[in-house]
Amino acid sequence: MTDLARATAPAAGGGTSKGIQFGKRPARQPADGEILRLGQVLGRTSGGIPVLLVLAFALTMSTESFLTGTNLDNLGRQVSIFAIIAVGQLIVILTAGIDLSVGSVVGLSGIVAAKVVYDTGGGLPIAGAVLLALLVGAAAGLINGLLVAFLKMPPFIVTLGMMGAARGATLLLSDGRTVQPLPEGFAEIGGGSLLGISHLTWLMVLITVFFALLLRRTIWGEYVYAVGSSAESARLTGVPVRRVLVSAYVLSGTLAAAAGVLLASRLGNGVPTSGNGYELQAIAACVIGGASLFGAKGSALGALVGALVVGMLNNGGTLLGIDPFWLQIVIGVLILAAVATEHVHNLRRGGKAKPVADTPPPGGPGEPGEPVPAGGTAQPDRGTAGDETAGEPTPTKRAAP
């Protein structure tokens, strides 16, 4: 029985628990004489670390420009944008969903912030323009979340529609033209540095650490993994599935908007085509970092590692003069390989692989306080000991009808 099921299982006397009580997710203790695997020590980030190390070594050997201070600073600024988007994408992926609109939201939020600053001539404080752009991203995420959670529409279709709508709104607001010039104060957000490290890098680290703690140390984080593992089992145990789904998409949209503002600030202008293709790179960063597109597996630190790999591929391709179209092929192949590997792994374990971006069950997700069936709660099976990773929820199966 999983920790989630234990927390909500009926008491011996026949009563039900008062609610889900979550604390720090306990780490699995190794049996006597058992050798801990690297994945149990590093968690879900371990999948991307070997790739990152090999890629860094290969680029160091291939070009002398890779380890120069100028290139590393530029790499850090590029990766920061990808990583912030990837963390938001990860939250949605953990719920067994997907957000294809993040790239368009990046472009829309960047244009909104740039237009407000440019059109008001500095009349509206820069902080106000940034806040408005973040609200636009949050609103896009809210629409996505409501359609997925309450109307039970497939995340792929919902976010694909939002991708087109946001891109169209971007072109309408900008009239298809670059918004420039922008005030130096706005450009300082993404172009400045602190203690020799760019503002973008500091923000990337702070956002990654914050969401790493939020996912692993809070009740909400437990809910996210539970919904991604099995929305029906989570609903039966009292998890507010709808609210979890909506919050995941709102956070994804907000982080994409933040990345859009930072990108516009770094470039010093608002480019209507900015963010094109970023949704694919964000998904690639997540799966390279160990996330599963089937849900309930992954971490914010893993998304950061994956973003570093994607950023290094782009940076290395530029240094070596490789056609960027080849890099798109490589990223696409990596995503396909990750999904295929996960699917085969599920089949070998005897489980039925659920489709990517699964929608909530027909019964409808529940809200807190709904009664537990008299027969007890759905109790998903715990995975085998060899497949558990320290401090992470294990895959679950739907209860038999």
Note the pTM of the prediction, 2 decimals. Answer: 0.78
Q: What is the C-alpha to C-alpha distance for residues 231 and 155, in angstroms, rounded to an integer?
A: 14
Q: What pLDDT was estimated at residue 123?
A: 66
Query: How many domains does the chain contain in total?
Result: 1
Task: Kindly state whether residue 18 falls inside one of the protein's structural domains.
Answer: no
Tokens of 41: 């020590």
Phi, psi of 270 (to 5 degrees): -100, 115
Task: Kindly state whether residue 38 falls inside one of the protein's structural domains.
Answer: no
Q: What is the C-alpha to C-alpha distance for residues 280 and 216, in angstroms, rounded to an integer?
A: 26
Domain containing residue 255: CATH number: 1.10.3470
Task: Kindly state whether residue 72 falls inside one of the protein's structural domains.
Answer: yes
Task: Kindly state whether residue 209 falls inside one of the protein's structural domains.
Answer: yes
Tokens of 49: 């670390």
Contact between 232 and 111 (Cβ < 8 Å): no
Task: Kindly state whether residue 21 falls inside one of the protein's structural domains.
Answer: no
Q: What is the C-alpha to C-alpha distance for residues 107 and 257, in angstroms, rounded to an integer?
A: 8
3-class SS shares of the chain: helix, strand, coil, % to 5: 60, 0, 35
Q: What pLDDT was estimated at residue 352?
A: 53
Q: What is the C-alpha to C-alpha distance for residues 308 and 10, in angstroms, rounded to an integer?
A: 45
Q: What is the C-alpha to C-alpha distance for residues 102 and 140, in angstroms, rounded to an integer?
A: 9
Residue 9 CB neighbours (<10 A)? 16
Residue with tokens 């058992």: 34
Residues 6 or more apart from 164 whose CB is under 8 A from it?
Answer: 104
Residue-by-residue DSSP string for 331-383:
HHHHHHHHHHHHHHHHHHTTPPPPPTTPPPPTT----TTPPPPTT----PPPP
Tell me the residue range of the domain where 306 lies. 44-370+377-387
Q: What is the C-alpha to C-alpha distance for residues 75 and 60, in angstroms, rounded to an integer?
A: 14
Task: Kindly state whether residue 60 falls inside one of the protein's structural domains.
Answer: yes
Torsion region of 30: left, alpha or beta (phi above 0 gives left; psi -120 to 50 gives alpha): beta
Q: What is the C-alpha to C-alpha distance for residues 308 and 205, in angstroms, rounded to an integer?
A: 12
* Strand intervals (E) in 190-240: 193-194, 197-198
pLDDT mean by block of 10 residues, the chain; 401 residues: 43 39 44 44 59 91 90 91 96 97 97 91 82 98 98 97 97 92 88 89 96 96 96 95 98 98 93 92 92 92 94 90 86 84 80 51 43 40 38 44 41
Task: Kindly state whether residue 335 falls inside one of the protein's structural domains.
Answer: yes
Residues 6 or more apart from 308 whose CB is under 8 A from it?
Answer: 48, 52, 79, 83
Task: Kindly state whether residue 31 falls inside one of the protein's structural domains.
Answer: no
DSSP 43: G
Residues 6 or more apart from 366 whose CB is under 8 A from it?
Answer: 235, 236, 238, 239, 240, 241, 242
